[in-house]
A and B are shown apart, each in its own frame.
Chain A
């Protein structure tokens, strides 16, 4: 839409002045709409990323801040360009020398992937139920999904300690009802991490699913039923494919933050959990090695964004072909 506005505005001015002004105005608004997200990305993604990348090319020092400055404008422009010689990729080479970093990346991706699938399994029925509920109670249901956000994330994760610990609420309930005779050890295990992540990120899965399921035309299901399609295959042939954009959006919203998750494994997980968030914390706080921790962060970012960009491109191409 904006492209059209831009071309027409730059076309030869055959109309009245007022119309040109109006078109210029429209072109400006059109551009603004695109510019705002880019400005946002510039300030909150690109600039911080460049700073982190710059630190990853320097060396540690006992100073404030604790690394040798590189590419500093302190010595003027020439000093800035001379600084290129001082850059070193040693910190990246270091990451390949110890299997620790690779293992931490892999563990994080596996934990995030399992959690995402679990969140999808739990979230889909919720979103489906909400979308099929009478229109009058949908806003209330939506509210209930968002409501937990009104309490601090940290307090909610702490509450799970009280539920899952050996003498906690869950074990007391199960023991009282006679389902188990020995308390279950859940806290400080991988199970507790999965429970924590599924619980904390559930709204991020439910909301995009709900919005794609709500838009669905249910007469399609009725038509399938009329033609003799059993409900389960109607679900897999119609409902699920139509909700796919919601599934993908929900999975990305859960998977990406879960890979870098630090608080949930720290509070609910056992000490043996080696995730990249903790490795980064160790480099940054325990070793005070800002350059290496920056290198870990840069690699993490690349590992996450590059596959997602390829995925999006593939999707866009598939959509083009459909047309």
Chain B
């Protein structure tokens, strides 16, 4: 996956350079976004409307994006990091401030979301929201029913309780290979501060994870979409929209696989993917046009309808499918929203602690 992402991006950058060299008059914008994260017709529409060619390239982990940005000269004009990564990248000087005069559609944004994203990007100077969602539990309804005698999961206890999870071991459990998402969830389950930087707290989270480790088949941040959809596994801790995509693929495949998603009642992480422009972006004007276009209510609604994530655009809600808007797992109600927590970026020392802890959980060493 990673090598593929690198190759794809290397190729696309090469192609971009080539295109720029070939037709200097063509306008281009190089976009780097998460995989399976847009309705591709939006890109075609944008090119038709503005004449700007979009070189669209994808990644599947914040780490890959961050490393490219920190190395500099990535050649991208619009990138979509998650909030906690964005905050640190702003500090490192990776991004340029948005020229808000070129973004009239900013008026469509939803204050509830903007307020939360300003924790990462004070005043939303550098970024604007693309999509947001939660980290929760995706599960195969029939298999969970057979193993646990219930078809409804609503608590972290199903996952973090070693005895319960052991019953699901044989039908398969996948977990995000991402300490920044999993350690805070374990802390929340323990009733501790999900953003705790204390070594003792992290050790407690590690202990909880090690107890359930024997029941986990794989740690991976994207494979669970297919694995859930194909019925290969019965539970995955993953990103909300990814689980919904698995649900839809399973419905299309008509193999009788039904997928459910739970935002645990103890509270779950809410994350924000933010569109931003690198400081060394070669096509700044085109980048602003692209971001502004993505904030058009009809356009971003189309994207939400396709990727099944909520967006931070208030005006778009009248165009979002009613089934999606009314689904509390996608657009949580006020009471659930209250319980969701955000994750703050780690300082290098805590990061090392967390990564080391994670290696111990995953490999046993």
Contact = CB atoms under 8 A, between A and B. Distances in A.
Contacts of A287: 348, 351-352, 355
A285 B4 contact: no
B218 A64 contact: no
A288 B66 contact: yes
Contacts of B72: 64-65
A244 B352 CA distance: 46
B63 interface: yes
Nearest to A284: B67
A109 to B, nearest CB: 15
A190 to B, nearest CB: 13
A174 interface: no
Interface in A49-94: 60, 62-66
B52 to A, nearest CB: 27
Please classify the interface of chain A as helix (H, G, I), strand (E, B), loop, or mixed, using the class held by over half of its residues.
Answer: loop
Nearest to A166: B232
A98 B217 CA distance: 26
B179 interface: yes
A263 B1 CA distance: 8
B359 interface: yes
Contact of A272 (B1, B61, B232, B362): B362
A188 interface: yes
Interface in A255-288: 262-263, 266-267, 270-274, 279, 281-282, 284-288
B363 interface: yes
Contacts, number: 85
B100 interface: no
Contacts of B253: none
B167 interface: no
A35 interface: no
Interface in A176-199: 188
From B3, B7, B88, B219, name the one whose CB has the most chain A CB atoms within 10 angstroms.
B3
A287 to B, nearest CB: 5
B92 A62 contact: yes
Interface residues of A, number: 34
A154 interface: yes
B92 A167 contact: no
* Most chain A beta carbons < 10 A, residue from B7, B71, B92, B363: B363
A252 B205 CA distance: 43
A286 B88 CA distance: 13
B3 A100 contact: no
Interface string B59-83: 0010110110111100000000000
Interface in B164-199: 177, 179
A110 to B, nearest CB: 14
B106 to A, nearest CB: 27
Contact of B362 (A64, A165, A271): A271
A60 B346 CA distance: 14
Contacts of B356: 98, 100
A103 B365 contact: yes
Interface of A: 60, 62-66, 98-100, 103-104, 154, 165-167, 188, 262-263, 266-267, 270-274, 279, 281-282, 284-289
Interface of B: 1-4, 7, 61, 63-64, 66-67, 69-72, 88, 91-94, 177, 179, 216-220, 230, 232, 348, 351-352, 355-356, 358-359, 362-365
21 contacts: A63-B70, A64-B70, A64-B93, A64-B94, A65-B72, A66-B92, A100-B356, A154-B4, A154-B7, A262-B2, A267-B1, A270-B218, A271-B216, A271-B218, A274-B363, A274-B365, A282-B359, A286-B179, A286-B351, A287-B348, A288-B351
Given A62-B88, A64-B71, 20 more contacts: A63-B70, A64-B69, A64-B70, A65-B70, A104-B365, A154-B3, A262-B3, A263-B2, A267-B1, A270-B218, A271-B218, A272-B363, A274-B359, A274-B363, A274-B365, A279-B359, A285-B63, A285-B67, A286-B355, A287-B352
